[in-house]
Amino acid sequence: MWLSITPELIQTFKERMHISHSGEDDNLTRLLSFSVAFVESTCGSFDLTGETNLDIRAKELVLERTRYAYNDAVEYFDDNFQSDILGLGLDMLFYKEGETDEGV
């Protein structure tokens, strides 16, 4: 089983990409799972269903990386989102060291 990709996350991605059919759901689940693994390994652990600032930012990176992967352009993701990836990684590190994520 792929990482805990919920039907809600698949639907969120499909709405973003204007995909109205379910024929690609298995592929989207796989791509979303790969993107979650990438963001977690690069930035740190987060909750896909969480409502904290850090969780929302991480989920946004997952959706954006999946968009790049879906369009066969994942090799451009790191360069185009470098500041977001580094910023989120640093903020997660500071949060884990006891800082709050207020204002993050």
Q: Does residue 103 fall inside a structural domain?
A: no
Q: What is the per-residue pLDDT for 95?
A: 81
User: Rounded CA gap, 104 and 102, in Å?
Assistant: 5
Q: Does residue 2 fall inside a structural domain?
A: no
Q: What is the per-residue pLDDT for 98?
A: 64
Q: Does residue 47 fall inside a structural domain?
A: yes
Range of the domain at 43: 7-16+24-96
Q: Does residue 1 fall inside a structural domain?
A: no
Q: What is the per-residue pLDDT for 1?
A: 44
Which residue intervals of the chain are DSSP H helices?
7-17, 25-43, 53-70, 77-80, 82-96
Q: Does residue 101 fall inside a structural domain?
A: no
Residue stretches of the chain with pLDDT short of 70: 1-3, 97-104
Q: Does residue 89 fall inside a structural domain?
A: yes
> What pTM was estimated for this model as a whole?
0.88
Count of structural domains within the chain:
1
Q: What is the per-residue pLDDT for 97?
A: 63
Q: Does residue 102 fall inside a structural domain?
A: no
pLDDT in tens, 1-15: 456 899 999 999 999
